[in-house]
Structure 1
Amino acid sequence: MPVQFDVDPAVARLAQTTAEFVREVVVPAERECGGSVHDAPASLRDALHKGAREAGVFAPHVPRRWGGHGLDLRGQAVVFEAAGYSLLGPLALNCAAPDEGNMHLLEKVATEEQKERYLRPLAAGEYRSCFAMTEPAPGAGADPRSLRTTATRVPGGWRIDGRKWFITGADGAAFGIVMARTSGSPGDPGGATMFLVDAGTPGMRVVRTIETLDEGFFGGHCEIVFEECLVGDDQVLGTVDQGFAGAQVRLGPARMTHCMRWLGAARRAQDIALERAASRTAFGSVLGDLGMVQQMLADSEIDIEASRALILRTAWELDTGSAATQLTSVSKTFVAEAVNRVVDRAVQICGALGISAADAPLARLFRDVRPFRIYDGPSETHRFAIARRALKPHRQPRPEAAVDS
């Protein structure tokens, strides 16, 4: 089957409208708050949502049944890149992490009752949510099998006990999708279950918002404690003991949508660098006439185009039913590092302007893209998995040990 990279004309128009909305409405709002939305008022989010609805670009990823445009991943790739041009663009379109990934997971895994209770208001922008899997060491992190939070059977439901941290958007979230161990021990490959836990449930507490390098996620990154937190059987998401498998429904596409959004940030950094290189005079010529600057600009163009091609190829694989496990790891690793290189080069080209947070957005872009090499699996973990999969068909069976007769 040939790989299809064509962009439907309707999707192209939606992407163009998104790009215009982001430049005219969202970028000014980003300037006003300095790109920091960890503690931003809900009124900012509400105003951006209102603007996106009026522009006709709200919820591009959400199935039409729930009020969105119903784009597949290839369509999302084009529109999400346009949204990611501003740190607040995905927030405005209601396609920011973690809500976007949670919508996808709920649409695929939740019961009809759970969809009405959680997905419908989330898709409409009435709720925010979080996905609570990561734990302080030695708990679940890059290796989710280290999961230590437990869910124990009690009459009518489950009791959750444990601690989570770096849970994006937890402050102010209406509910969380919480991963807890329902069987086995830390290190076992199975035994996890996902639970839908409403904010305000006794025993669930957000104990702090963690100060981090990046500030572009609404609700910040939080630490949550669960102490005898009781939930009903109707709040199990998916199948008991199959939580890791269920989470894969979310993780592969969510890695790609992260790539799409961050590619928009890289494109913005490159545009700033190009404008600076074409106008700043030094040593008797504009910067863009200097060979070293030309090389940096060219390398960034290569990184952007290669990233876009990888995203589209992987999106096509996912759209056509493939798990695309290897490609999602390859794409996530390459794009995360390429985006960092593009933004870093832009800072270097712009010099003092590049590190001035008040005069250009590059400093805040730099802060926000650096953690991307860690989020959704650090590059090193993905490289380990990529190599292991590549080696698997080439491994020779080990010879049987000699046995004395």
Structure 2
Amino acid sequence: MESRGDVTSAPDERMDDMAELKTRVAAFVRERVMPCEPVLDEGGPAAAAVLRDLQDQARRAGLWAMPLPVELGGQGIPLLPYSRLAECEGASDHGPAALGSAPLLDVLMLKRHGSARVREQYLKALTAGGLRTCYAMTEPDVPGTDPCMTGTRAVRSADGNWTVTGRKWFTSGAGEADLVTVLARTDGDASDRAGLSLFLVPTDRPGFRVVRELPVLGAGGQWEIDLDHVTVPGDHLLGERGTALAIAGERLQLGRTLRCLRWLGQAQRAFDLMCERANVRTGSRGPLAGRQLVQQHVFESLLAIRTTRPLVHEAVERIAAGLDAHVEVGLAKVAAARMLHHVVDAAVQVHGAAGLGPDTPLPALLRTGRAARILDGPDELHITSVARRVLRGHNA
């Protein structure tokens, strides 16, 4: 992520600028994006029209594509300062898309590992919001924690093109995507980590098919796709042949950390709703805020948020410094997923039956919190991975 801003400006001035920008981002998400969530959650043409309008508003407000590279049309805010903004953007699931930061992972991946043609053809359009992307790694009947067992195959033909065949599922945004990055085996068998490659596949290619939507606890957005001998240009191979796991690992570390930042924003939203409810809801013995068990919900939730935030930002700092962050990202991912689930559950409890109904965002936030413990790698994967790394270090 490139730097922006006047290097001659004083640090205090830059900090003031970022504080003001954070306030503006939070207000935009709260006042413009959140009221549109019922329409955006439904999907379809109406949601697409509302999202385009929000994106136009974000451009006019100077809030568009804040972490994306300047030369592509973004604002180039580096990862460290952007991480504070990401919490505010992520308070709504639709915030990153409305503010143009959603394609960050794809833009960085294609910028670093795409061919000259791929960079020229797609990067500016992605940054401008004219193209939509998704990432297809998980497959039916294949453990998502073991990508080496990927069944999707890519075969190179004499003309240099590739033919990709396989099926993927739980692919976010595939139903409306223009491009999908596909993990496929190009060499070897399931024990060969060096036999996997990544391909950028245009979804208008013959043989590409959206099979079905896969609702997650009742909500849409995840899809199953089928690739039946889809021809992919040779220069749409990302990186070198057989380097998929290295590229995916780079992407996943940043992607998981961004998710954690957004979960912090959503947890703060649920916490604020809980505190508001506790103060305004009055029974025969006064406001709920006077009840010790409600106070305990508030305390435990605040404790969870405050103790998780430093873990997440430690991961951000290591990634921004170019250091290995496997342990930090694993800790942050498990802690943030648990924290979100805990805080939203407490907010629902304080709201009572109202927390289960359609008049608050709590059901959607609760769904996100529960799914967070499985998507982007289940808790068990990160726990095992972190523990093994720590134990190896102590055995050295």
1:86-165 to 2 correspondences below 5 Å: 86-96=92-102, 99-137=103-141, 139=142, 141-155=144-158, 156-165=160-169
Aligned to 2:7: none
Aligned to 2:84: 78
Structure 1 residue 38 displacement after superposition: 7.1
Task: Give distance in 2, aligned partners of 1:374 and 1:125.
Answer: 29
CA 1:393 to 1:186, structure 2 compared with 1: closer, same or farther past 3 Å?
Answer: same
**1:47 partner amino acid:** D
Give the alignment's TM-score, normalised by structure 1: 0.90
Structure 1 residue 171 displacement after superposition: 0.8
CA 1:380 to 1:283, structure 2 compared with 1: closer, same or farther past 3 Å?
Answer: farther
Structure 1 residue 288 displacement after superposition: 1.2
Task: Give distance in 2, aligned partners of 1:326 and 1:80.
Answer: 21
**2:295 partner amino acid:** Q
Aligned to 1:224: 225
Aligned to 1:9: 16
**1:69 partner amino acid:** Q
Contact 1:22 1:85 in 2 (8 A): yes
1:37-52 to 2 correspondences below 5 Å: 37=43, 41-52=47-58
**2:94 partner amino acid:** L
Q: Report Cα offsets for 1:19-45 as digits up to 9, x if no partner.
A: 111121111111x42744477542122
**2:25 partner amino acid:** T
Structure 1 residue 339 displacement after superposition: 0.8
Do structure 1's residue 169 and structure 2's residue 173 form an aligned pair? yes
> How many residues are treated as equivalent by the alignment?
384
Do structure 1's residue 19 and structure 2's residue 26 form an aligned pair? yes
Structure 1 residue 101 displacement after superposition: 1.8
Aligned to 2:9: none
Aligned to 1:400: none
Task: Give distance in 1, aligned partners of 2:205 and 2:345.
Answer: 43
Contact 2:153 2:165 in 1 (8 A): yes
Do structure 1's residue 64 and structure 2's residue 59 form an aligned pair? no
Aligned to 1:399: none
Contact 1:263 1:308 in 2 (8 A): yes
CA 1:104 to 1:8, structure 2 compared with 1: closer, same or farther past 3 Å?
Answer: farther
Q: Report Cα offsets for 1:108-136 as digits up to 9, x if no partner.
A: 22233312212211111111111111101
Could you tell which deviates more after superposition, 111-120 or 246-255? 111-120
Contact 1:167 1:222 in 2 (8 A): yes
Contact 1:193 1:243 in 2 (8 A): yes
Task: Give the aligned CA root-mean-square deviation in angstroms.
Answer: 2.0
Contact 1:214 1:368 in 2 (8 A): no
Aligned to 2:194: 190
Structure 1 residue 214 displacement after superposition: 6.1
CA 1:302 to 1:135, structure 2 compared with 1: closer, same or farther past 3 Å?
Answer: same
Structure 1 residue 278 displacement after superposition: 1.0
Structure 1 residue 208 displacement after superposition: 1.1
Structure 1 residue 361 displacement after superposition: 1.4
Could you tell which deviates more after superposition, 252-261 or 139-148? 139-148
Structure 1 residue 370 displacement after superposition: 1.7
Structure 1 residue 268 displacement after superposition: 0.7
1:326-405 to 2 correspondences below 5 Å: 326-357=327-358, 359-395=359-395
Contact 1:77 1:311 in 2 (8 A): no
Task: Give distance in 2, aligned partners of 1:13 and 1:29.
Answer: 24
Task: Give distance in 2, aligned partners of 1:304 and 1:226.
Answer: 42
CA 1:316 to 1:374, structure 2 compared with 1: closer, same or farther past 3 Å?
Answer: same
SS across alignment from 1:171: helix
Structure 1 residue 169 displacement after superposition: 0.6
Structure 1 residue 76 displacement after superposition: 2.2
SS across alignment from 1:213: coil
Structure 1 residue 104 displacement after superposition: 2.2
Percent identity between the aligned chains?
38
SS across alignment from 2:194: coil
Contact 2:263 2:340 in 1 (8 A): yes
SS across alignment from 2:382: helix
Structure 1 residue 16 displacement after superposition: 0.9
SS across alignment from 2:190: coil
Higher relative contact order (CA 8 A, sep 6+): 1
Aligned to 1:250: 251
Unpaired runs of 5+ in structure 1? 1-5, 397-405
SS across alignment from 2:138: coil
**2:15 partner amino acid:** D
Q: Deviating runs (4+, > 6 A) in structure 1?
A: none
Q: Identify which of 199, 202, 206 aligns with 2:203.
A: 199
CA 1:35 to 1:202, structure 2 compared with 1: closer, same or farther past 3 Å?
Answer: closer
Contact 2:40 2:50 in 1 (8 A): no
Q: Report Cα offsets for 1:146-183 as digits up to 9, x if no partner.
A: 11111112122111111101111111211111110011
Task: Give distance in 2, aligned partners of 1:61 and 1:38.
Answer: 28
Q: Report Cα offsets for 1:237-266 as digits up to 9, x if no partner.
A: 111011111112211000011111121111
Task: Give distance in 2, aligned partners of 1:40 and 1:243.
Answer: 37
**2:217 partner amino acid:** L
Q: When you count helix as a share of all residues, which structure comes out higher?
A: 2
